[in-house]
Amino acid sequence: MNRLTLIAIAVLINILAISCSSNQQKDAENKQDTAAPPNLMKEAELLKGDNNGIGKFKDIQLTHPLDQAMIAKGQPIFDSKCSACHKTTDEKLVGPGWKGVTDRRTPEWIMNFITNTDVMLDSDLVAQKMMVTCMVRMPKQGLTDDEARQLLEFMRKNDGKN
Ligand code: HEC
């Protein structure tokens, strides 16, 4: 085996070892939290999932109980625009599985991410970290605000919220 072949194999093994699983990502984030020296505190804060991302959504009013009409509209949007890359379980497809997404991200972060995807992928640390692990850049989806809100409600239902 020559050197180039060995390098190629090493690179392949590296790629295979990278996983986009949200749980593993969360573990890594948690570890970073405890190990972070003071100058990295800001980054650790951001990764905790209590940041709201970048965009116009600053204060989303959630409804309790869930809004069934919104869920009914969110489902077909998921089917046609998102399910090619996302599962509703915690299993990764192209992007992270959606199970637990409403626990790891704020409603504002989710709404900003799905309506302002390019800006978030360029500047939001959490989104960028995901892009590194997934190795695919989520294309912008051209959703209206209403559609984004319906998808958020669909995700809340999927996470068993009420
Ligand atoms: C072509 C594949 C693709 C499509 C289609 C797609 N996504 Fe994504 N999505 C990704 C990838 C990949 C990521 C991880 C970030 C990155 O790498 O850009 C992601 C990340 C996300 C996240 C963050 C998940 C987390 O765990 O924080 C949300 C929320 C999301 N997408 C929502 C949507 C919605 C809503 C739609 C449909 C309207 C959609 N996506 C369609 C590929 C896709």
Residue type at 118?
A: D
Q: Which residue is closest in CA terms to ligand 1's atom 11? A: 95
90 pLDDT higher than 80: yes
Which positions ≥6 away from 20 have C-beta within 8 Å? 92, 95, 96, 130, 133, 134, 135
7 pLDDT higher than 60: no
The pLDDT value recorded for residue 19 is 45
Judge contact between 88 and 159, C-beta under 8 A.
no
CA atoms within 13 A on the CB side of 86: 21
The two structure tokens encoding residue 101: 């997404």
Judge contact between 51 and 106, C-beta under 8 A.
yes
| % pLDDT > 70, the chain | 69
Mean pLDDT, residues 92-97 taken together: 97
Judge contact between 52 and 58, C-beta under 8 A.
yes
Per-residue pLDDT reduced to its tens digit, 130-143: 999 999 999 999 99
Per-residue pLDDT reduced to its tens digit, 34-74: 554 555 556 666 665 568 999 999 999 999 999 999 999 99
Q: Is the dihedral of CA 54, 56, 61, 63 positive or negative?
A: negative
17 pLDDT higher than 70: no
Q: How far apart are CA 63 and CA 27, in angstroms?
A: 30
pLDDT level of residue 103 (50, 70, 90 thresholds): very high
pLDDT level of residue 2 (50, 70, 90 thresholds): low
Q: CB of 152 closer than 6 A to ligand 1? A: no
**Which of 86, 98, 145 has most ligand 1 atoms within 8 Å of CB, for mutation?**
86
The pLDDT value recorded for residue 67 is 98
Between the alpha carbon of residue 154 and those of residues 44, 55, 68, 87, 95, the distances in Å are: 29, 21, 9, 13, 17
Q: CB of 135 closer than 6 A to ligand 1? A: no
Average pLDDT, the chain: 83
The pLDDT value recorded for residue 11 is 46
Q: CB of 156 closer than 6 A to ligand 1? A: no
